[in-house]
Amino acid sequence: MSQTPQQHDAIEVIRAKRDRQELSDSQIDWVVDAYTRGDVADEQMSALAMAILLNGMNRHEISRWTQAMIASGERMDFSSLSRPTSDKHSTGGVGDKITLPLAPLVAACGVAVPQLSGRGLGHTGGTLDKLEAIPGWRADLTNEQMMAILEDPGAVICAAGSGLAPADKKLYALRDVTGTIEAIPLIASSIMSKKIAEGTGSLVLDVKVGSGAFMKDVDQARELAETMVALGTDAGLKTVALLTNMQTPLGLTAGNALEVRESVEVLAGGGPEDVVELTLTLAREMLAAAGRTDVDPADALRDGRAMDVWRRMITAQGGDPDAALPVAAHQHVVRAQADGVLTSLDAYAVGVAAWRLGAGRARKEDPVQAGAGVELHAKPGAVVRGGDPLLTLHTDTPDRFARAEEALDGAWFIAPEGSRPDLLPLVIDRVDG
């Protein structure tokens, strides 16, 4: 791509997409570059984003748009490492702590994991928020520090530097306030521009489906998965996507320190079945994409190698893996009101409750409570008795309990005994290039 894109006019580009025309390479290169530099106004890019939301983009347009966003900043290079690299990206959900056990597990099997993660916004938790519950742990690393940790112990989870796809950071903030977040071409290019610029050797995408996910139905999620896999393929990045169930929260916790504690249980050989299953499934995909089909990650989970990498990874980023995790000052138990079978537990409602308890934020600058969140005592399919604990709410500020309980109103259903929940499988589908 040219370093000095051909000159165009913002109104010309907006009209072209408004009128369902295919944007040319030079139009895309110019508008992304000009917006990043401030030569295209926010209101003009807002109009273009809305036109893209309404009229879409074809595969070539999305690929070129993604490359233009990558060209707005730096690219990382891990080719000097002594082992191959593979990364995972999740589109976000409730209780989705999979990155925490997954990164050290894959590293324990000989593949380096450069996991650039983010913080939570709204009902979905952020990986960095979870890890920042560990005393001393820091998310901000220099490129040199990141490379050193990737060499040994082999996994790093950190914040993306400001030089990586700066066009995306600016455009994402605009989409957030203009009702254009849902545009699949812009979602896909946002995710993939950062992942391609990151320089990983292969990528596995975990596209969540269900009430607690951004994509509510399978067809919509499949379209996003196929678009992102195509972008990776066009860029020469081996990319695979799994569609996974986010109708019910993952595991038994939603909150920062609560999810770290559960992740450590998984690394110690225990933990909830769904978290273990998805961690191993994604690990096998990442290892296969990196060419390591000769190892079984279940062995590294069983024999303690993954736990060893976790401890060294946390220590390398300033954290104390032996330190006590924060505990919320107040708890409130929500109990079942009838005997029967729990047939549903809505992920979105649990996520909103955790957010209201202090585990999440409404704006990027809001603080979070490390100990806040929701603990689940039963998942769909469980037999419960009236008075049994269903959920425990955790917060440092007890006046938040009432609002959290409002969010949970109607969030579960208890059917007569003998009933069977109608659940999607944990892994719904797989998309590859």
Whether 363 maps to a domain, the answer reads yes
* CATH number, residue 372: 3.90.1170.30
Whether 301 maps to a domain, the answer reads yes
- Whether 343 has a pLDDT exceeding 80, the answer reads yes
Whether 222 maps to a domain, the answer reads yes
265, 160: one domain:
yes
179, 257: one domain:
yes
Whether 128 maps to a domain, the answer reads yes
Tell me whether residue 330 is one of the annotated catalytic residues: no
313, 335: one domain:
no
Structure confidence at residue 325 as a pLDDT band (50, 70, 90): very high
269, 208: one domain:
yes
| Catalytic position from the list 175, 311, 394, 400 | 175
pLDDT tens-digit map of 14-25: 999 999 999 999
Number of compact structural domains in the chain:
3
As a whole number of angstroms, the distance between CA 90 and CA 148 comes to 25
DSSP 8-class letter at 379:
-
Q: Which domain holds residue 381?
A: 330-415
Tell me whether residue 97 is one of the annotated catalytic residues: no
End of a domain among 279, 296, 323? Answer: 323
147, 244: one domain:
yes
Tell me whether residue 420 is one of the annotated catalytic residues: no
Whether 75 maps to a domain, the answer reads no
209, 274: one domain:
yes
* CATH number, residue 307: 3.40.1030.10
Average pLDDT on 406-420 reads 95
Whether 432 maps to a domain, the answer reads no
- Whether 162 has a pLDDT exceeding 90, the answer reads no
User: Between 42-55 and 10-18, two packed helices, what is the crossing angle to 10 degrees?
Assistant: 20
197, 268: one domain:
yes
Cβ–Cβ under 8 Å, residues 141 and 149: yes
Residue 423: partners with Cβ closer than 8 Å, 6 or more residues away: 245, 247, 248, 380, 381
- The region of weakest confidence among 101-115, 119-133, 189-203, 268-282 is 119-133
405, 363: one domain:
yes
Average pLDDT on 282-292 reads 97
Average pLDDT on 171-175 reads 87
As a whole number of angstroms, the distance between CA 4 and CA 11 comes to 20
| Catalytic position from the list 46, 72, 190, 202 | 190
Cα distances (angstroms) measured from residue 27 to each of 9, 168, 187, 422: 9, 17, 20, 48
307, 186: one domain:
yes
Can you list the positions of beta strands (E) in 210-316? Answer: 238-245, 253-255
Rg (CA), the chain: 22
- The region of weakest confidence among 87-91, 115-119, 216-220, 267-271 is 115-119
Residue 2: predicted pLDDT: 45
Whether 68 maps to a domain, the answer reads no
- Whether 4 has a pLDDT exceeding 60, the answer reads no
- The chain-wide mean pLDDT, for the chain, equals 94
DSSP string, 319-330: --TTSPPP--SE
As a whole number of angstroms, the distance between CA 194 and CA 29 comes to 17
34, 168: one domain:
no
119, 239: one domain:
yes
Whether 82 maps to a domain, the answer reads no
End of a domain among 304, 323, 342? Answer: 323
Average pLDDT on 46-58 reads 97
Tell me whether residue 195 is one of the annotated catalytic residues: no
Residue 160: predicted pLDDT: 82
| Catalytic position from the list 8, 89, 123, 400 | 89
Residue 367: predicted pLDDT: 85
β pairing state of 155-159 and 113-117 = parallel
Residue 122: predicted pLDDT: 64
Average pLDDT on 257-267 reads 98
Nearest in space to 360 (alpha carbons), one of 121, 181, 132, 58: 121
Burial of 287 (0-12, 13-18, 19+ CB in 10 A): buried
Residue 5: predicted pLDDT: 58
Can you list the positions of beta strands (E) in 315-388? Answer: 330-335, 340-345, 373-376, 383-384
As a whole number of angstroms, the distance between CA 19 and CA 52 comes to 11
* Start-to-end CA span in the chain (Å): 24
198, 233: one domain:
yes
Cβ–Cβ under 8 Å, residues 105 and 297: yes
- Whether 230 has a pLDDT exceeding 90, the answer reads yes
* CATH number, residue 34: 1.20.970.10
| Catalytic position from the list 97, 123, 130, 194 | 194
Tokens, residue 356: 């209201």
- The region of weakest confidence among 22-26, 165-169, 219-223 is 165-169
Tell me whether residue 175 is one of the annotated catalytic residues: yes
